[in-house]
Amino acid sequence: AAGIGLLVGMNCPKAVKPRDVITGISGRSQILFLVTYVARYLDLLTNFVSVYNTAMKVFFIAASAATVYLMLFKFKATYDHNHDTLRVEFLIAPCALLALVVNHDFTPLEILWTFSIYLESVAILPQLFMVSKTGEAETITSHYLFALGSYRALYILNWIYRYYFDNFFDLIAIVAGVVQTVLYCDFFYLYITKVLKGKKIVLPA
Amino acid sequence: SPTTEGKDEL
């Protein structure tokens, strides 16, 4: 929530003058996250867990939709098309196919949930690809990525806890969550060794 | 297995 809130805040027209909108954020990743949250939270309408659960689902969808709108429509001029080029079809298609093959239950909601779990684990790839192409990440982008990466990494601790105390585990969520966290690891290394020391992330050319 | 009803995670 902090990461997504940061992004909306930094892209919000009230908060920053249009020219200050942070560059270096991948619009493609933001679209993938929006698709992820919509596909996963369709049960908002059918399955009430708690106020917190519903509130966070609404926040995730609303904030990522706002970010996509601000980046790709309102501040389209500042969006860096040239460096945000990873083909998302090559991420969406395999996730969709895998969701049809490996899932807990062959029902529309379950398939969409599974697709969303697989998609989230690779949704950051366009962003990491863009950082490698631009060769650097703005500090605020680094904070955003760190928050986004640690969100799923912390879930791994929760899954371990629930395995030992509730004897509950969801293998699909765990495998995808581990893959997702591993994808962030090289970024975590850069974040901790550089950004926290006040430096910017500049990747070797 | 935690199908749709049992999902309580984000």
User: Which residues of A fall within a CB distance of 8 Å from B7?
Assistant: 43, 47, 49, 113
Report how far residue A9's alpha carbon sits from residue A140's, in angstroms, rounded to the nearest whole number: 11
A49-85 pLDDT, tens per residue? Answer: 999 999 999 999 999 999 999 999 998 988 988 999 9
Buried b / exposed e over A165-174, threshold 16 CB at 10 Å, is eeeeebebbb
User: Does A113 touch chain B if contact means CB atoms closer than 8 Å?
Assistant: yes
User: Does A132 touch chain B if contact means CB atoms closer than 8 Å?
Assistant: no
Report how far residue A37's alpha carbon sits from residue A116's, in angstroms, rounded to the nearest whole number: 7
Nearest chain A Cα distance for residue B5, angstroms? 6
pLDDT at A18: 55
For the cut 90, the answer to whether the pLDDT of residue A204 exceeds it is no
pLDDT at A65: 97
Beta-carbon contacts of A118 under 8 Å, excluding residues fewer than 6 positions away, are A94, A95, A98, A99, A176
A91-143 pLDDT, tens per residue? Answer: 999 999 999 999 999 999 999 999 999 999 999 999 999 998 888 888 888 89
**Higher pLDDT among residues A203 and A20, named by residue:** A203
Residue A140, token pair as written in the block = 């605020």
Nearest chain A Cα distance for residue B7, angstroms? 8
Report how far residue A102's alpha carbon sits from residue A176's, in angstroms, rounded to the nearest whole number: 12
* Exposed / middle / buried, residue A35 (Cβ in 10 Å: 0-12, 13-18, 19+): buried
Beta-carbon contacts of A132 under 8 Å, excluding residues fewer than 6 positions away, are A203
In chain B, positions 1-10, which contact chain A (CB-CB < 8 Å)? 1-5, 7-10
For the cut 60, the answer to whether the pLDDT of residue B1 exceeds it is no
Taking CA atoms, A101 is separated from A25, A73, A98, in Å, by: 32, 36, 5
Question: Are B4 and A43 within 8 A, CB to CB?
Answer: yes
pLDDT at A2: 85
Question: How confident is residue A87, by pLDDT bands cut at 50, 70 and 90?
Answer: very high
User: Which residues of A fall within a CB distance of 8 Å from B3?
Assistant: 104-105, 107, 110
pLDDT at A14: 63
Taking CA atoms, A169 is separated from A39, A52, A64, A98, in Å, by: 21, 21, 28, 20
A34-55 pLDDT, tens per residue? Answer: 999 999 999 998 899 999 999 9
For the cut 90, the answer to whether the pLDDT of residue A190 exceeds it is no
CA neighbor of A138 nearest in space, from A59, A58, A83, A75: A83
DSSP code, position A200: -
DSSP code, position A198: T
ipTM of the complex: 0.80
User: Which residues of B fall within a CB distance of 8 Å from A50?
Assistant: 8
A143-189 pLDDT, tens per residue? Answer: 988 999 999 999 999 999 999 999 999 999 999 999 999 999 988 88
